[in-house]
Structures are given as structure tokens and as C-alpha cells.
Amino acid sequence: MTANANRIDELQRRLDKIPRVLLGSLPTPLQEAPRLADLLGVRRLFVKRDDLTGLGLGGNKVRTLEHTVAEAVASGADLLLGAAYVHSNHCRQLAAAGAKMGIEVRLLLRRSGDRPVSWQGNLLLDELFGAGIEFVEAADTFTLLELARGRVAEFEASGRRPMLLTLTPASKLLGAIAAMRTLLEIEGQLRAAGEVRSSIYVSSGGPTYAGLLSAARLIGADIQVRGISHQFDTAIQVDIVTGLLAEIESLLRLAVPPVAPDIEIDDRFIGPGYGLSSAAAFDAIRIAGALDGLVLDPIYTGKAMAGLLGHAREGRLTPDDVIAFHHTGGVPALFTCADQLRVGPSPTGV
């Protein structure tokens, strides 16, 4: 399929109807990485630099926050709440958004067992941006969401007007909507580079993946979206994406065609778990840094690059392939893994 200009215009019009405040420096660049392309054995490799969205040291969650903060402002919220693991990129960007908009931010951060807190990376920035921080114990994100909803009720009882901007179904749907804009940018930038057929690699099996996939289908782009899961196994992620596709259809009043590109999510690179890095991710970070000066993070983009390198080793890439690697940001978390990154061999190849 070739992207249709009328479909692109129509999708853009639908997306423009979703309330939004401007927080990021968009569109972000699509930069070529020829040395990494040679290593992978593909014709061209591009990097979509959503680590350069600007606000709070950047990241793709700035795109989501443009919608969720707009919703909060419209509702009259005087307190923005975020809940995630302790070095969350989303919470860091939320704290920066609150500072920019002049709205108080409180963060519920899930610690990993009894490990001491490292006051650097995202956590240091949370404090720098003026967010109130509360550490909580939660077995998983579902438990964390219930804790966060409890805090919302407590603040409402005290007369505040809080809104939870992470973990909720509404925030996930708006995250998918934001990613649809990203796909339109990538498609236009690839077309300007003379490419109409490509694959996108992204560390996601949820809202970001669903947004990229739905937009590619809606405009008829010949783009295969390949997700590298950082949290759940493939079956769970496919269920999440399928549910989000239905929600996108309902919100935009557009039918997402059930055609190629298919849902493709690889769960083999999760490592020890969500919010934790892996040896493969560390190796991928070293390779990207040494070959292209590209700085990846240990939780998301490091795993996505590990997946891309793994697919090259397995022969799943061809010399004719054009790859767009979605750099979703998260670089501040890199500094919490300095000891692990300084250990290991120099990158020599896939």
C-alpha cells in the first residue's frame, strides 16, 4: 500500500480536534545512521529522535502530555498526579509540564524492593522540577493504579481538584492518539527521503505501538510496526493493542482497517522485568554509542535496539530493508546504570 494524501489529510483533521496544549518541540528530526545500518545489513536506518521533544530533557511522553494536560486544564484541575516506577520517564516529563504550566505535581513512585534510592537521573529531575514525591510499595502497576486512585479520593476530600495523568485508560488512549501524530511525521519524513516502504522498531506493545499501527493502517502506509516488549508477553500485549485500536476507532470515528501491517510484538527482550535493564540492552547501548554517537536508555530504547540487533542476527532483516528506529527518550535513566555500562567488551558487531 502507498500512503494516500486524502487519507493523511482526513486523519490529521480528526487528530486536530483532540484538545492539546503545546509543550514539545515538534516535529522531531528523523536522522540517518549509516554505520548502524551497515552493522545490521540493511539499506538504510533512520532514527526518529523523540528524545529531542524538548520539555524536561525530552521523550515521547511529552506528546501524550500535550493531550492529558489539556484535558486537566479544561477540567479545572489544580493538582496533577503521576504514578509509575521510581525512575519513570513519564513522571519526569509530567513534573516538567507542571512546572511549565504552573500546576502542582505529585508523584507516587514505586520502589523496587529494598534497593536504596538513587537520587539521580529522572528522580533528580523530578525534584528539580518541583514535584512532590512519595515512595510507595506496590507489587505491580495494577496495585499502583489503585493506590493512585486512593490518593485522588483523599485530595478530593480535602477540597483539591486532582487529576491522575498516568496509568488510566484515558491516558493510555491519549498516548495512542499522540503516537498517531508521530507516525504521520515519520511517514512524511521517510517520503521526503525517497522511501515509501519501511519497518518501524519501537519499545512498546501498548499505546505507542497501537497509535503507530492504527495510523499506518488508516493512511495506507507500507510501514510494518515491530514492537519490542518491555513489560508483558506477546499475548497480553496483542490484547492491549487490539483493545486500543477499538478505542481509537470510537474516539476518532474512523474504522481502522484490519489489514497489514499486522500486530507484531516480540517479548524475548524484556530481560529481568519491567523497569529493569538487561545484559542485551547494555550491549545494544554500547554499540549504538560507539557506532553512531547515539545515546539510548536502559529500560526502553536499549531493549528496542537489542531486539533490532537480535533480528539482524536471526536473518530477519534483508539488504533491501529500510528501518526507522523510534527513539522514545528516557536518556536520564542511563546514569543510574553507570557501573553496569562500564563493564563489558567493546562492541565488535552483531
Enter the DSSP assignment of 162. Answer: E
Task: Find all residues with CB under 8 Å of 159, minimum gap 6, and list them.
Answer: none
Per-residue pLDDT tens for 235-274?
999 999 999 999 999 999 999 988 767 899 999 999 998 8
Q: In 3D, which of 254, 251, 174 has the Cα closest to residue 208?
A: 174
pLDDT band (50, 70, 90) for residue 275 = confident
- Let me know if residue 350 belongs to a domain: no
Q: Structural domain of residue 96, as residue ranges? A: 61-168
Q: What is the mean pLDDT of residues 60-67?
A: 98
Q: At what angle do helices 279-292 and 301-313 cross, to 10 degrees?
A: 90
Strand partners, 106: 81, 132
Burial of 229 (0-12, 13-18, 19+ CB in 10 A): buried
Same domain for 229 and 205: yes
Same domain for 142 and 36: no
All 3 cell numbers of residue 136? 510507595
Same domain for 285 and 190: yes
- Let me know if residue 346 belongs to a domain: no
pLDDT band (50, 70, 90) for residue 112 = low
CA distances from 185 to 5, 60, 65, 143, 268 (A): 13, 13, 18, 36, 29
Indicate the residue among 110, 138, 168 that finishes a domain: 168
Q: How many domains does the chain have?
A: 2
Same domain for 135 and 250: no
- Let me know if residue 162 belongs to a domain: yes
Same domain for 106 and 40: no
- Let me know if residue 349 belongs to a domain: no
Q: What is the mean pLDDT of the chain?
A: 94
What pLDDT is recorded for position 196?
93
- Let me know if residue 233 belongs to a domain: yes
Task: Find all residues with CB under 8 Å of 271, minimum gap 6, and list them.
Answer: 277, 278, 279, 280, 281, 303
**Alpha helical stretches, state H, 83-200:** 89-101, 121-128, 141-157, 169-192
Q: Which residue has the higher pLDDT, 259 or 321?
A: 321
Q: Global pTM?
A: 0.94
Same domain for 301 and 243: yes
Same domain for 177 and 119: no
Same domain for 187 and 97: no
Per-residue pLDDT tens for 288-300?
999 999 999 999 9
- Let me know if residue 274 belongs to a domain: yes
Same domain for 176 and 117: no
Say which CATH number the domain at 151 has: 3.40.50.1100
Task: Count Cα neighbours of 237 within 13 Å in the Cβ-side half-sphere.
Answer: 24
- DSSP SS3 for 205: coil
Contact 272, 278 (CB under 8 A): yes
Same domain for 89 and 51: no
Indicate the residue among 134, 168, 202 that finishes a domain: 168
All 3 cell numbers of residue 162? 486532582
- Let me know if residue 347 belongs to a domain: no
